[in-house]
Every structure is written in C-alpha cells, then in structure tokens.
C-alpha cells in the first residue's frame, strides 16, 4: 500500500511491505516505512544508561509514527540439507546479514570474526572506520570493545582468588582500605567482590563525575567520592548492572596483585595470548588503526539536533576495568579461542575449569528484582542473551561505549565463538539481530540439523476490567516513569512528556503486545524498532514471604532473532504529597559558581547531553527533574526521602538538596536567582 500527501511545508510517504522469505519465525517480517522531509527518527542509543533508557522507552512510544528505514536484498537460499561441519551457508548468510543490517541501521563500519578453538572460520571487515576520511575498516582496525572488557576483568579477579591473593566473599573494605558507602537500607550485608562481579552490589550504574575525558577521575578519587554517596539497593538483593562496581575492581586487582591494572592485564592476557595490538588505554602505536566512534549527539533530542550518525571525539574513560579494552578482530581471536578451550588443559593458564564453571553460573538466585538490563549474569559473563534448546552453555557480553557497539558470544560445548565490533551506537539492535540469526546457523552446521525455536508464544487472551486493573500503576527506571491504566480490553501506557500513548494487547499470562495507532488501525511496533517481537511482561515476586498481589516490575522485552533485549522498570509507589521538597523547585545551572568541579565532566556532558540548565518542578503534586533545553520533556520523577533528599524513581540514585545546590552522581548544580 502506498499513500502520499502533500502540504505547503512538507511531504510524506507511507510504505507498507509484507515479506515472508521462509516459513520460520525469524524469517517472517513486516516492514513499515515512514519518510518525511521534515521528520524522521528511529531508536538511538548512548552509553550512559540514563539517556539510553530515555531513548528506548520513548522510541517504543514514537515508533508507530517515525520508524526505521527499510532495505531488502535477497537472502541466501537455505540448503535443503544441513551437513555437519559444512559452514559454507552460515558464512554466506553472515556476510549477507552484515551488509543488510549495516545498511538498514546506517552503521559506518564493522568487523566480525567466527572461530573455533584452533581455526578461524570466517573473518571480514565492512564499511569505513572514519566517515570524514573514508578510510576502510580492515581486520586490523582497532575498536573500543567496551563492556566485553568485563569478561577479562572478572577472569583477572578470579585468577587472583585462585592464587589465594584475595577472597571474593569478605567485606570489600578489607581488600580496598578506605572504601565506604552510605546506605538507606537496614540490611547489615557488606558489599563483597562477588557482589561487584555479579552486579548485585547495589552501587549505581554510572558515577558521572570525572567519568571520561582529559580531566577524568583517578580510581582513588572515585573511591573517595563514593564515600559521600548512597547505595541504590541492599547488596545481594537486586540485580543492577554497574560500571562503577567494575571500576572499583580495578583497585581490587591493583591491591591484590601489587601491580598497576594495565601491567597486570598485559602480563595475564595480552602477552600470553599474543594480543600485541590490544591495550587498555590508547597507545601511539594504535592510533593509525583506530576507528572513529559515531553516534547521534544528545540522542537527537535537542532542538535542531542532528539525527544522523556523526563522528565523535575519542575520550579516555575512567572505568577502564569496565570498558577500556581496545582491540581488533584479528587480535581478539586468541582470547575467544581461550574461552572455548578447557581451562585445565589450555596452553595459556588464567583460571581453572572449576573456577570458570563458577563464573558462568547465575549468582544470588533467590534475589527477585532486576533493574535496567535484566540478563542473567554470572561473574563477568551474561548467561541468557541467546537461548537455544539443548545448548546450556551460551555465554556472551554486549558492549556500548562512546560511539561503538560490540557483541561477544561463545559456546565451549560446540566449539564456536563470534564477536562483532561496530563504530556506531546504532549497532545495538543490529548486533543482537546479526548475532542471534548468524550464530544459530553456525550452531546448526556444527550439529548437522536445525535447532528448535524458543520464542514467546502469543495467544489471544480476553481479560476483564478487574483483571486488567491489577497491572495499573506507575513503573520507573532512573526516574523515567510510565503510567499503566486499564482500557477496554487493553492496557494504556503513557509517559510524561510524550503525547503518544501505546496500547498493550493481552497476549499470554502477564504478557502483553504493544501496538501503536496509525489512522484508525493498530500498528505492530517490533518491525519499526528493528525487532522481530516486542512484549511487555509484568513480573510478580517469587518470594513467598511477600504477600503481594501486584506486579513488582514491568519488563520491555524486545527480540531480535533470538536475542533478548530487556529493559526493566520497577513498580513505583509515589508519595501522596511531594511538598516535602517543594521549596527546592527552581532552575539550576550545571556550571554555576558553586559547581567548579563539574568542569572535569564537561567533555562527557557535552558529548551525551549538552544542556547547561536543569529544572526541578512540581506537576500533579509530583516532583520532577528535567530540562527545558530538551525537545522531549522527559522529567525524571523524584521520590522524597527526607527533607533534603530524594531518590530517582525505579533505580533509587540519591539526589541531595541544599539551600543553593542540587547534587547527583557527583555533579553539583547551582540554583539560579529568579
């Protein structure tokens, strides 16, 4: 169907294309394209989780009106018979998938490699490393590997534990003298290294002060600053992905080994594995090979802001143990091969197999809530990013940093590992889609037959108004809050700052399918977001001691191929009266007279959200923190705690007020005289 309309100021075109290339769930798709001379948008992603969450939630609500662009090159024909050990078709498919997906998402450059323990099965580079010079990507191009670094950091910590140089279950202050952090909780549990490794420490995701750039904090400064902050959750109770926690592990490694972090990682990984062109801080030898990162500045939310990928400056990050690795596909191969090898017989010894088995086991299984990214996690490894029947050992790690997105996945039992490096934040959904589809085909070639599918099954469900009513309420993530209300046979999802609503259609037990409205018709959102399926899943507590008939969280579940992308929002009980902190309403400057220390974070703020003024305001008797400089008025809901403290709804980061200042994550804002 094609429809066009013209007015005096703009023209638009709507194209709906239905395509079923194979009778398989992952091959069936419906693409809807919207193009307009004045407006065009699609999901955008930045490293800092506050802004990533805003982008993903708002993208779901806007997708029905401004979806991603479409493309369609013919897919390689699937062979009638899968021959065990024949990787010709998976290689053809992966090559096609890389080109198709990069074109669809506008990714400038990427490199991919698939390997077994002793043989590279496929390695290829695509596109350009630098959009300004047009320099092509090669297999020696250096990318920022981001959070894939965490797998190495965790292995380094566990190696030291194996050697008896640290105990991962003793209070952290025994290993890092001087470490302390405040808490709102009555829990007496102390933070341990195990909590840091598994993201159960309760420490906030990103501590913004001094996070990157030429004036970034040292780790000693970070630990000193943390002593004046609060945990978000009690240790061991809530899964909350934390780059800050992994930054602390940098000091753990240094204290336990007696060496600098870079020196210890060099002698433990880079030298023994022959990773000669890799490092944890940019070296002069790497600079000629370095790809440039690309992203949509400020999430495209500023007035007149550029919506397409632009090149961004290289900023060294403080949290090197969380995301500092710089490497290429050719240099990264030995590390993947190590991960595939039995650790007791590996020619390079880092940890034993018993230790590795512990690292790939889910920790704190009795914990109920999960916040932000909700993947199962071991010690340094994501456990259920992809889930194939009868293959329990699928381990992975995704990575997103300053204009780069990467994805590592491997299965020791099937002797297959794969990594994708991209130089664009738009590599987020793209990498999930490529990895899940292509890795499935390599696994099938390894086994000699097709794998069964394990995808959520939709079914028609009719719910009464009372049954829908139990889901009503507010659900929050880093202050971003959506409201759920019961409609006629559906739930209605709305968000402050956005005029659009999303309807949630019952599709299973506590499962709903989001749909938008275009003209008078339902519009399915997955294809518009670059996904195959999209669900909203309400979860209830597994803790039988908690008598609660209401959901504890709402998960946005996106499926690309069979890769699961989750964003979790906790149920929020909003106080009836926010007047406790109403006296602090007003405007606050980021670089005011009492905020000289913010200069050390200016480069990061300019890259991700270059606003100079924020506003604390009351709306419908609720307290919000936002900025008038943003196109999307996405105020972050503040929950009062004391007469001078609030917490961000959902993730519980502390916001501290004084007579003339507002402090959050080490950033101090100065109140303006009005």
Q: What is the mean pLDDT of the chain?
A: 83
pLDDT over 80 at 342, yes or no: yes
Q: How many CA atoms lie within 13 A of 519 on its CB side?
A: 3
**For the residues of 17-62, what is the DSSP string, one character each?**
EEEESSSSTTTEEEEEEEEESS--------SSHHHHHHHHHHHHHH
Residue 80 or residue 385, greater confidence:
80
Contact (CB, 8 A) for 422 and 110: yes
pLDDT at 49: 54
Is residue 388 very low, low, confident or very high in pLDDT (cuts 50, 70, 90)? confident
User: What is the rounded distance in angstroms from the CA atom of residue 93 to the CA atom of residue 90?
Assistant: 5
Give pLDDT tens digits for 149-162. 999 999 999 999 99
Instruction: Identify the H or E element spanning 655.
Output: strand 654-657
Q: Residue 667: phi, psi to the nearest 5?
A: -95, 130
Q: Find the range with the poorest average confidence among 104-113, 327-336, 632-641.
A: 632-641
Residue 2 confidence (pLDDT) above 50: no
3-state secondary structure string across 512-571: EEEEEEECCEEEECHHHHCCCEEEEEEECCCCCCCCCCCCCEEEEEEEECCEEEEEEEEE
Q: How far apart are the first and last CA of the chain?
A: 55
pLDDT, residue 605, reads 80
Q: Is the dihedral of CA 82, 88, 94, 96 positive or negative?
A: negative
3-state secondary structure of 162: helix
Tell me what percent of the residues of the chain surpass a pLDDT of 70.
81
CA dist 173 and 226 (Å) reads 13
Judge whether residue 50 has pLDDT over 70. Answer: no
Print the SS3 string covering 200-237.
CCCCCCCCCCCCECCCCCCHHHHHHHHCCCECCCCCCC
pTM: 0.87
Lowest model confidence (mean pLDDT) among 310-314, 385-389, 404-408, 515-519 = 515-519
Residue-level length of the chain: 674
In 341-476, alpha helices (H) = 353-359, 427-447, 465-469
Domains and CATH numbers, the chain: 465-572 (2.40.128), 579-671 (no CATH)
Residue predicted with more confidence, 56 or 164: 164
Question: For residues 432 and 327, which has the higher predicted lDDT (pLDDT)?
Answer: 327
Cα separation, 409 vs 388, whole angstroms: 13
Reported as a pLDDT band with limits 50, 70 and 90, residue 99 is very high
User: What integer is the mean pLDDT of 632-653?
Assistant: 89
Residue of 477 and 3 predicted with greater confidence:
477
Give the pLDDT of residue 350.
98
pLDDT at 82 over 60: yes
Task: Please give the pLDDT value at position 547.
Answer: 44
């Amino acid at each position: 169907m094609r429809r066009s309309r013209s007015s005096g100021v703009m023209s638009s075109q709507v194209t709906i294309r239905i395509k079923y290339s194979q009778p398989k769930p992952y091959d069936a798709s419906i693409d809807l394209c919207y193009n307009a001379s004045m407006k065009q948008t699609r999901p955008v992603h930045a490293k800092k989780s506050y802004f990533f969450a805003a982008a993903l939630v708002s993208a779901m609500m806007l997708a029905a009106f401004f979806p991603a662009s479409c493309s369609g090159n013919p897919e390689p024909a699937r062979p009638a018979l899968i021959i065990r050990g024949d990787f010709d078709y998976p290689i053809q498919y992966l090559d096609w998938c890389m080109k198709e997906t990069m074109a669809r998402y506008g990714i400038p450059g990427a490199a991919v490699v698939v390997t077994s323990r002793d043989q590279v099965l496929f390695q290829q580079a695509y596109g350009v490393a630098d959009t300004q010079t047009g320099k092509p990507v090669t297999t020696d191009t250096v990318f920022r590997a981001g959070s894939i670094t965490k797998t190495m950091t965790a292995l380094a910590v566990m190696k030291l534990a194996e050697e008896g140089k640290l105990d991962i279950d003793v209070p952290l202050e025994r290993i890092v003298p001087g470490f302390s952090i405040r808490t709102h909780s009555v829990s007496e549990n102390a933070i341990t290294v195990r909590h840091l490794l598994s993201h159960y420490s309760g420490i906030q995701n990103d501590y913004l002060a001094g996070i990157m750039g030429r004036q970034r904090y040292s780790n000693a400064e970070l630990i000193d600053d943390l002593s004046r902050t609060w945990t978000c959750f009690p240790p061991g109770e809530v899964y909350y992905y934390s780059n800050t926690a992994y930054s602390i592990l940098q000091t753990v490694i240094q204290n336990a080994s007696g060496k600098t972090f870079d020196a210890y990682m060099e002698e433990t990984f880079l030298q023994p594995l022959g990773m000669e062109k890799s490092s944890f801080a940019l070296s002069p030898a790497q600079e000629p090979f370095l790809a440039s990162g690309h992203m949509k500045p400020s999430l495209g939310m500023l007035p007149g802001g550029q919506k397409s990928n632009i090149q961004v400056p290289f900023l060294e990050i403080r949290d090197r143990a969380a995301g500092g690795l710089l490497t290429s596909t050719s240099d990264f191969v030995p590390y993947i091969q190590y991960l595939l090898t039995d650790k007791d017989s590996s020619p390079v010894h880092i940890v034993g197999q018993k230790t590795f088995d512990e690292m790939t086991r889910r920790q704190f299984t009795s914990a109920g809530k999960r916040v932000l990214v909700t993947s199962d996690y071991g010690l340094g490894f994501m456990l259920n990013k992809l889930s194939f029947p009868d293959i329990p050992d699928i381990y992975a790690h995704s990575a997103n940093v300053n204009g780069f997105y990467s994805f590592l996945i491997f299965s020791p039992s099937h002797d297959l590992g794969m990594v994708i490096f991209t130089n664009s934040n738009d590599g987020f959904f793209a990498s999930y889609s490529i990895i899940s589809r292509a890795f499935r085909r390599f696994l099938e070639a390894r086994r000699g037959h097709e794998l069964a599918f394990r995808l959520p099954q939709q079914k028609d469900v009719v719910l009464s108004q009372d049954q829908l009513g139990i889901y009503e309420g507010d659900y929050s993530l880093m202050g971003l809050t959506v409201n759920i209300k019961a409609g006629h046979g559906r739930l209605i999802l709305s968000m402050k700052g956005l005029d659009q609503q999303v309807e949630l259609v019952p599709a299973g037990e506590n499962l709903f399918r989001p749909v938008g409205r275009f003209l008078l018709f339902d519009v399915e959102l997955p294809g518009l977001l670059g996904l195959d399926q999209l669900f909203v899943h309400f979860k209830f507590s597994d803790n039988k001691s908690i008598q609660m008939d209401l959901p504890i969280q709402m998960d946005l579940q996106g499926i690309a191929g069979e890769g699961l992308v989750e964003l979790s929002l906790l149920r929020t009980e909003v106080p009836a009266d926010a007047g406790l902190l109403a006296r602090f309403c007003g405007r606050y400057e980021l670089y005011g007279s009492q905020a000289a220390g913010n200069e050390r974070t200016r480069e990061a703020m300019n890259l991700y959200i270059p606003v100079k003024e924020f506003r604390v305001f009351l709306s419908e008797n609720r307290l919000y923190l936002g900025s008038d400089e943003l196109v999307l008025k996405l105020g972050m809901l503040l929950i009062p705690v004391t007469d001078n403290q609030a917490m961000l709804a959902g993730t519980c980061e502390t916001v501290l007020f004084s007579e003339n200042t507002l402090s959050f994550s080490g950033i101090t804002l100065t109140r303006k005289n009005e």
